[in-house]
């Protein structure tokens, strides 16, 4: 059983003033992803010394997972720095030389950033034919025109018509289809091809949004997500370098790995604490456990107690919860005592999260032409489908594309496939051999080349079945709004609970950032936001205590 080392250093720091003037506040951070590490780093840099990080898995990084393969690094999780100007992740990478070897092809300026790069996307049909480049460009212009319309509902306060069901997918499919069908210059064959391409574009968009289907994404809220100006950057040495930079100045004893949390007890009254304190032996050491595996719950007036899966109890003044939205959806009822307020529960239930997975295929030699940057799968028989959902045995039909990883000098001959939604979970249940065979059959079918060999290596992500993640990243589902992100981020107890110690449970993570949800910079900023909230409170308390009243 692992016992976390709890530090309680100097009491001279001004931040030790306030609620407990004779000691430092104890802060527990749950999760060592970008949000948790950013919060911890900020707290330590600003004078808090009694900080402990509890990480359920055996490694730090959360949804960042860089895997070394041969002489290169593959990203099973976060891949891009989205935008530069004012992006803290970009500035961290730039200041530490992580972008020096990023090639021009790894600085994508395209809106859809699934390895967008120089070269030409090959749109292939399930009949093994390539759709002409000029036809693809013509359809792409139409799709992007309608995409811009989807942004106007939030940005310009445009009312949503009932026919759209407030759904990005329903609206996009309806408007694009109408525009295609009224074009007098297109033959029926061309119209069918364009309708089929529409379905493929919506699959790509779903992977971008990490939604099961764009039908589930809220049209009225779609435009609130804010894109930071600048390109999308790949870090050649791996996104894990960002994690390491955040963690490098955090003492190793501060982070407890393999430490899943079972329960967070919060908002216990002072009277309740006094009763327990009187019944305790009063002989435990507040500074460390001295080898003991359990600290007496709710002792020493701390209003929060974190109960770990290994039966260890850790009391705290404040807990910053950075669990993913997927984990909160699954576990919030069992995780918090008392239960979360109803409006926070509703926010958790309304917001969406799904799984986007990657499938890396490594080949001995390329079967694609030098100018090909991706192979996009267009199913001609899906032109009129209303729902892009498939039974388990047809999970592969949700794979939208395979992108070519550039440059080959770094990656070799590597493709990266994309799949999302329930079908991504079906894929996770298959073994590598089955995935390799199915993907090879798909590539042969769509390229019309029956001689494509099986890949020599397969590597894939499995975010949906990871019990400590349960999904890739969040989106505003139909019926939710940015206000739900803000409700999720509100600390407990709420400010109107005047008798309870403030800021007992704080919430961070990408899903709590109203403008930057789903991004690494959103996660990082959310961690800094909650650490700042604590710092501001203690500084205000210190000022109040040291101000001499006028007599």
- pLDDT digits over 244-286, tens only? 999 999 999 999 999 999 999 998 644 355 445 444 444 333 4
Output the CA angle 93-96-102, nearest 5 degrees: 55
* Mean pLDDT of all residues in 354-369: 97
* Mean pLDDT of all residues in 451-466: 97
Confidence of residue 370 (pLDDT cuts 50, 70, 90): very high
Per-residue confidence (pLDDT) for residue 275, from 0 to 100? 44
Confidence of residue 461 (pLDDT cuts 50, 70, 90): very high
Cα-based distances in Å from 54 to 65, 257, 452, 456, 509: 18, 6, 47, 38, 15
- pLDDT (tens digit, 9 = 90+) per residue, 42-55? 999 999 999 999 99
Per-residue confidence (pLDDT) for residue 388, from 0 to 100? 87
Q: 109-113, 256-260, 290-294 — which one is most confidently predicted on average?
A: 256-260
Per-residue confidence (pLDDT) for residue 105, from 0 to 100? 66
Indicate if the pLDDT at residue 359 is higher than 90: yes
Per-residue confidence (pLDDT) for residue 282, from 0 to 100? 43
- pLDDT (tens digit, 9 = 90+) per residue, 2-31? 456 665 444 445 454 444 445 799 999 999
Closest CA to 144 of 196, 201, 187, 189: 201
**Close Cβ partners of 55 (under 8 Å, ≥ 6 residues apart):** 31, 32, 36, 255, 256, 257, 258, 259
Instruction: Tell me the residue ranges of DSSP E strands in 150-254.
Output: 232-234
Calpha distance 550→385 (Å, rounded) = 75
Indicate if the pLDDT at residue 1 is higher than 50: no
For 377, other C-beta atoms within 10 Å of its C-beta total: 22
Per-residue confidence (pLDDT) for residue 171, from 0 to 100? 97
Per-residue confidence (pLDDT) for residue 283, from 0 to 100? 38
% of the chain residues with pLDDT over 70: 87
Per-residue confidence (pLDDT) for residue 249, from 0 to 100? 95
Q: Contact, 102 vs 237, CB < 8 A?
A: no
- pLDDT (tens digit, 9 = 90+) per residue, 376-427? 999 999 999 888 899 999 999 999 999 999 889 999 999 999 999 999 999 9
Per-residue confidence (pLDDT) for residue 13, from 0 to 100? 54
Dihedral sign for Cα 496, 502, 505, 508, please: positive
Q: Contact, 397 vs 442, CB < 8 A?
A: no
User: What domains are there in the chain, each with its CATH number?
Assistant: 27-62+238-271+301-352+470-547 (3.50.50.60)
Residue 128, Ramachandran bin (φ over 0: left; ψ between -120 and 50: alpha; else beta): left
Indicate if the pLDDT at residue 219 is higher than 60: yes
- pLDDT (tens digit, 9 = 90+) per residue, 428-451? 999 999 999 999 999 999 999 999
pTM of the model: 0.90
Per-residue confidence (pLDDT) for residue 23, from 0 to 100? 74
| Better-scored residue on pLDDT, 323 or 227 | 323
- pLDDT (tens digit, 9 = 90+) per residue, 152-181? 998 888 889 898 999 999 999 999 999 999
Calpha distance 62→55 (Å, rounded) = 9
Per-residue confidence (pLDDT) for residue 298, from 0 to 100? 45
Parallel, antiparallel or unpaired: strands 72-75 and 66-69 = antiparallel
| Better-scored residue on pLDDT, 551 or 336 | 336
Burial 410-426 (b: 16+ CB within 10 A, else e): bbbbbbbbbbbbbbbbb
* Mean pLDDT of all residues in 303-320: 96
Q: Contact, 448 vs 129, CB < 8 A?
A: yes
Indicate if the pLDDT at residue 521 is higher than 60: yes
Confidence of residue 335 (pLDDT cuts 50, 70, 90): very high
Calpha distance 75→230 (Å, rounded) = 21
Indicate if the pLDDT at residue 500 is higher than 70: yes
* Mean pLDDT of all residues in 109-137: 81
* Mean pLDDT of all residues in 56-77: 96
For 112, other C-beta atoms within 10 Å of its C-beta total: 16
* Mean pLDDT of all residues in 194-222: 96
| Better-scored residue on pLDDT, 550 or 483 | 483
Calpha distance 167→150 (Å, rounded) = 10
> What's 125's DSSP letter?
E
Burial 11-29 (b: 16+ CB within 10 A, else e): eeeebbbbbbeebbbbbbb
Per-residue confidence (pLDDT) for residue 498, from 0 to 100? 62
Calpha distance 77→534 (Å, rounded) = 30
Confidence of residue 547 (pLDDT cuts 50, 70, 90): low
Confidence of residue 542 (pLDDT cuts 50, 70, 90): confident
């Amino acid at each position: 059983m692992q016992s976390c080392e709890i530090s309680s250093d100097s009491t001279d720091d001004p931040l030790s003033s306030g609620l407990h003037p004779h000691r430092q506040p104890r802060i527990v951070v749950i999760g060592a992803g970008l949000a948790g590490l950013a919060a911890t780093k900020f707290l330590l840099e600003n004078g808090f010394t009694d900080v402990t990080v509890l990480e359920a898995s055996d490694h730090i990084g959360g949804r960042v997972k860089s895997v070394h393969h041969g002489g290169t690094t593959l990203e099973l999780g976060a891949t891009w720095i989205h935008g530069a100007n004012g992006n803290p992740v970009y500035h961290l990478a730039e200041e530490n030389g992580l972008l020096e070897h990023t090639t021009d092809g790894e600085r994508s300026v395209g809106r859809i950033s699934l390895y967008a790069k120089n070269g030409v996307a090959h749109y292939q049909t399930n009949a093994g034919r390539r759709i002409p480049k000029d036809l693809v460009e013509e359809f792409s212009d139409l799709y992007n025109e309608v995409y811009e319309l989807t942004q106007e509902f939030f940005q310009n306060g445009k009312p949503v018509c009932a026919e759209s069901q407030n759904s990005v997918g329903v609206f996009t499919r309806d408007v694009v289809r109408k525009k295609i069908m009224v074009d007098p210059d297109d033959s029926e064959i061309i119209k069918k091809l364009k309708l089929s391409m529409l379905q493929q574009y919506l699959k790509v968009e779903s992977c971008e949004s990490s939604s099961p289907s764009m039908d589930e994404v809220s049209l009225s809220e779609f435009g609130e997500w804010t894109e930071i100006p600048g390109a999308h950057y790949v870090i050649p040495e791996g996104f894990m370098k960002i994690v390491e930079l955040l963690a490098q100045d955090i003492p190793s004893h501060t982070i407890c790995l393999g430490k899943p949390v079972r329960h967070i007890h919060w908002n216990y009254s002072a009277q309740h604490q006094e009763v327990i304190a009187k019944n305790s032996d009063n002989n435990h050491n507040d500074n460390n456990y001295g080898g003991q595996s359990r600290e007496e719950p709710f002792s020493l007036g701390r209003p929060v107690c974190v109960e770990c899966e290994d039966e260890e109890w850790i009391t705290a003044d404040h807990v910053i919860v950075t669990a993913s939205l997927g984990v909160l959806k699954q576990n919030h009822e069992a995780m918090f005592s008392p239960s979360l307020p109803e409006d926070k529960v509703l926010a958790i239930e309304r917001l969406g999260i799904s799984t986007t997975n990657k499938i890396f295929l490594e080949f001995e030699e390329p079967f694609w032409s030098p100018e090909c940057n991706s192979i996009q799968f267009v199913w001609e028989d899906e032109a009129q489908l209303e729902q892009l959902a498939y039974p388990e045995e047809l999970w592969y039909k949700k794979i939208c594309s395979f992108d070519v990883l550039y440059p080959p000098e770094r990656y070799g001959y590597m493709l990266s496939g994309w799949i999302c939604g329930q079908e991504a979970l079906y894929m996770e249940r298959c073994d590598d051999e089955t995935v390799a065979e199915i993907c090879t059959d798909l590539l042969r079918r769509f390229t019309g080349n029956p001689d494509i060999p099986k890949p020599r290596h397969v590597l894939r992500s499995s975010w949906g079945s990871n019990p400590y993640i349960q999904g890739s990243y969040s989106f505003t589902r139909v019926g939710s709004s940015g206000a739900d992100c803000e409700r999720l981020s509100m600390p407990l107890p709420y400010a109107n609970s005047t008798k309870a110690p403030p800021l007992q449970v704080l919430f961070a993570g990408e899903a709590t950032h109203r403008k930057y949800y789903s991004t690494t910079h959103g996660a990082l900023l959310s961690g800094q936001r909650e650490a700042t909230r604590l710092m501001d409170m203690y500084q205000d308390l210190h000022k109040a205590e040291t101000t001499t009243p006028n007599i």
